[in-house]
Structure 1
Amino acid sequence: MTSILLRTREQRNSRLRNIGAAVLLVASAGLAARAQQPRQPAPASSAAPLLVGYLPAYKGAGLANSVKSLDLTRMTHLDLAFGNPPKCRGGCTAQSDMNFSLNGESDADLDALVATAHAAGVKVVLSIGGGGGDQLIIQFYNVGLTAPLVASLDKFVRAHQLDGVDVDIEDPSAMGAPYTTLVSALTATFRPEKKLVTAAVAKYLQDSMPDAALHQFDFITVMNYSSYASALTSLQFYAQDKKVPKNEIVLGVPFFASNNGDSKEEEYSTILAAYPNAWQVDMVGGGSLDDGQAFHYVGEATMARETQLARQYGGIMIWEMLGDAAAPHSLLSVIKAGLDKPLPPKSNCPCSESE
């Protein structure tokens, strides 16, 4: 979920590296431990839906300052993007540096953000990986170093009083058995600490992600950043095809726009500054921004509609919070209003969710 985000683009398929018996033993131990640990409570169908927002640590401003500009009312989770270890020099070994950091943020800055969010009743989760950054996680678990990697991550999470971990691996060529081993180790470590283990997922990843991993997460956030029809299809895919409980599926929505080739992105606030009436539609172009390229995004009417759809599931996830426009055309305000709006009474007709 970065500016590198080409979420719906087909990614390379390469053969998984062989894993040794030690990795398989870790996987078995992790699965067994996980089975004995209760999952964090998912949002019940009668409970208020989740509102999860990603906050990037690579936009120049410190996180402690960034969070001060946000309206945290009604938010349930802030996912910090992205925390990772360094790249190994040569091949990774047990002696490699596995210390996690958050894009150069200082400990004091991170702790100040966590204190602000907790004071507002918002959980703070460290998102690991990210588009491209996921290779910093993959480099360890693909060579059987999951256990020390997770131990290092646990140390970081404990030190900063974080509320859990979000797994954002977007390379389908590296999501086989070693990925399941990672997820099993995460749940075995964090579930006894009553911390969350969530994941950012997408339909293009699911042929590669084992169901044994998918069904371990406390909830998943579905990276769907295009049309309402695509959002509906994606949510139904996870609920019907993948058998994930609806209240554990959170719909991802964009605070950014993409050009037709998905090679350029602009924040929603930038789109609205260049096209003052852009909030009324879902596509603009022909102006001075980026040589008049057409950009597609989610405007206010579609965002309100997607919010109502998300309420039938576990809630909404935003990529990312700093891309929003100011009032009176804040997409966050549209979402909050939609989440608090009473749902219409259900009829007895066999209607589809798109009706």
Structure 2
Amino acid sequence: MKTRYLLLALILVITFTGGVFAGVFFTTSNTSKTPSTSPNERKFGKLPKSETTPGLKAKPNLKAEQAKVLIGYVQDFRNPDVVDFSKLTYVNFSFAHPTKDGGLLLNGKMAMDNLRATVKKAHQHNTKIMLAVGGWYNIQGGESYKYFKPAITEPSSRSKLVSELESIADREQLDGIDIDFEHPHSQEDALNLSAFTRELSERLHDKHKELSIAVNAKINSNTGTESNYVVYDPSMFQYVDHVNIMAYDGQWDGTYNAANLSPYSFAEKIVNYWADLFDKNNLSKEKLVLGVPSYAQPENPAIKQMSYAAIIKDNPVNAEHDSVSLNGTTYYYNGEPTIERKTKLALDNGFGGMMLWEAGLDASGSHSITETLSAVLKSSEDHSKQQVAEAN
């Protein structure tokens, strides 16, 4: 009996000692694999996942938005001194005129002198300068369409025009070319314009120069529906850096109505149309630039348009409104609140910036459209940078 008790005691000692060594070995070899327990787990046992202390969340991958552009068209007779280059990202000098055989004309020495002066002033402010080719009228007489169309239809004349534009861009130290073909009216026109755009894009981009294109709003301001008067080949837009939407001159849609110049409701439909078109064709909406007018349209079509500068000079309070009665007629335009709303509309829909026709018609000082556009764009960029900084 005593021998049996001694044997049992020996077995218990060996078992206890082996367990201690095994426990020490297991703990040591799994220190890096077994998570430490929290005080609550030691007190109450393992907690459900929903009640454990959460780990650090991954930071959202926020990237700074691409800088928004502000493009101002400037006519060739304009004194460059009236343009506020400091607020503009691009100046589009308007216009160079195509000939039917693919040649290129400027409006004499005056236009060339102003182009060179504009290039110099623009580059002093780190503003890029583009030469716009086309426009509504041609200096040879009549609408530009009847000259531009044959120039881009025949391969030989198209190639010649591309070479002419490449040459003047190099010679005059331009940052690029802006195409303003008003307007392709058929599928044939659209395909020829696309071919011209592709060829010019290849030549300019090879030299690190840019290419933009001005386009019709494609919305009838009177009916609010898509206009079939102008036809574009959507694939063309892959070749350009910016698409400048001429979201104005709606007064000519149907029966003349000056109030349809460029109201906010018109801009909404235009923005929706172009945003949807670019989404459907997998194109970057950052290329889209919404245009606004810097002139006022008279209710009486027999009276000339009035510059925004003249509207503000008459009374700075006019900046708060979109219409004013002057000289016995009512003029319609875009005041500061509407310009601000349009800019936010464009940005909210992913557009890359804003454009105005024409910088030389703008007022100076705090009530200028350029100033208003610039302020809203800068505020948006500052907000984007702040979000990125907070996320990082």
TM-score higher than 0.5: yes
Instruction: Check the 8 A contact 2:300/2:329 in 1, yes or no.
Output: no
Instruction: Give the number of the structure whose residues are more often helix, by fraction.
Output: 2
Asked if 1:339 is matched to 2:352, the reply is: no
Instruction: Check the 8 A contact 1:58/1:103 in 2, yes or no.
Output: no
Q: Report the Cα distance in structure 1 between the residues aligned to 2:177 and 2:292, rounded to whole angstroms.
A: 20
Asked if 1:53 is matched to 2:72, the reply is: yes
**Per-residue deviation, 1:259:** 2.7
Aligned pairs for 1:241-256 within 5 A? 241-243=277-279, 244-256=283-295
**Per-residue deviation, 1:70:** 2.6
Q: Report the Cα distance in structure 2 between the residues aligned to 1:296 and 1:45, rounded to whole angstroms.
A: 37
Residue in 2 that maps onto 1:132: 137
The change in CA–CA distance for 1:103 and 1:54 in structure 2 (over 3 A counts) is farther
Residue in 1 that maps onto 2:204: 190
Q: Report the Cα distance in structure 1 between the residues aligned to 2:177 and 2:72, rounded to whole angstroms.
A: 14
Asked if 1:118 is matched to 2:123, the reply is: yes
Secondary structure in 2 matching 1:128:
strand
* 1:51-99 deviation digits (Å, cap 9, x = unpaired): 111111134xxxxxx22333222321000000124x5xxxx45xx7x14
Asked if 1:78 is matched to 2:88, the reply is: no
The change in CA–CA distance for 1:345 and 1:186 in structure 2 (over 3 A counts) is closer
* 1:8-51 deviation digits (Å, cap 9, x = unpaired): xxxxxxxxxxxxxxxxxxxxxxxxxxxxxxxxxxxx97132101
Instruction: Check the 8 A contact 1:100/1:153 in 2, yes or no.
Output: no
Secondary structure in 2 matching 1:271:
helix
* 1:205-233 deviation digits (Å, cap 9, x = unpaired): 77511112233211101111312222222
Q: Which deviates further from its counterpart, 241-250 or 192-201?
A: 241-250
Aligned pairs for 1:244-323 within 5 A? 244-260=283-299, 264-274=304-314, 276-285=316-325, 287-288=326-327, 292-312=328-348, 313-323=351-361
The change in CA–CA distance for 1:106 and 1:333 in structure 2 (over 3 A counts) is closer
The change in CA–CA distance for 1:271 and 1:329 in structure 2 (over 3 A counts) is same
Secondary structure in 1 matching 2:340:
helix
Asked if 1:163 is matched to 2:175, the reply is: yes
Q: Which deviates further from its counterpart, 269-278 or 323-332?
A: 269-278
**Larger relative contact order (CA 8 Å, sep ≥ 6):** 1
Q: Report the Cα distance in structure 1 between the residues aligned to 2:154 and 2:301, rounded to whole angstroms.
A: 33
Secondary structure in 2 matching 1:124:
strand
**Per-residue deviation, 1:335:** 1.6
Q: Report the Cα distance in structure 2 between the residues aligned to 1:118 and 1:343, rounded to whole angstroms.
A: 23
Give structure 1 stretches of 5+ with no counterpart: 1-43, 60-65, 347-355
**Per-residue deviation, 1:253:** 0.9
The change in CA–CA distance for 1:178 and 1:45 in structure 2 (over 3 A counts) is farther
Residue from 136, 156, 159 that aligns with 1:147: 159
Residue in 1 that maps onto 2:256: none
The change in CA–CA distance for 1:140 and 1:300 in structure 2 (over 3 A counts) is same
- One-letter amino acid matched to 1:82: F
Aligned pairs for 1:95-110 within 5 A? 98-101=103-106, 104-105=109-110, 107-110=112-115
Q: Report the Cα distance in structure 2 between the residues aligned to 1:250 and 1:320, rounded to whole angstroms.
A: 15
State the percentage of identical aligned residues.
Answer: 25
Q: TM-score, normalised by structure 1?
A: 0.72
Asked if 1:203 is matched to 2:239, the reply is: no
**Per-residue deviation, 1:274:** 4.0
* 1:242-290 deviation digits (Å, cap 9, x = unpaired): 43422111110111111347674221112233455321210122x32xx
Q: TM-score, normalised by structure 2?
A: 0.66
The change in CA–CA distance for 1:235 and 1:104 in structure 2 (over 3 A counts) is farther
CA RMSD of aligned residues (A): 2.6
Q: Report the Cα distance in structure 2 between the residues aligned to 1:45 and 1:310, rounded to whole angstroms.
A: 18
Q: Report the Cα distance in structure 1 between the residues aligned to 2:86 and 2:181, rounded to whole angstroms.
A: 29
How many residues of Structure 1 are paired with residues of Structure 2 in the alignment?
A: 285
**Per-residue deviation, 1:143:** 3.7
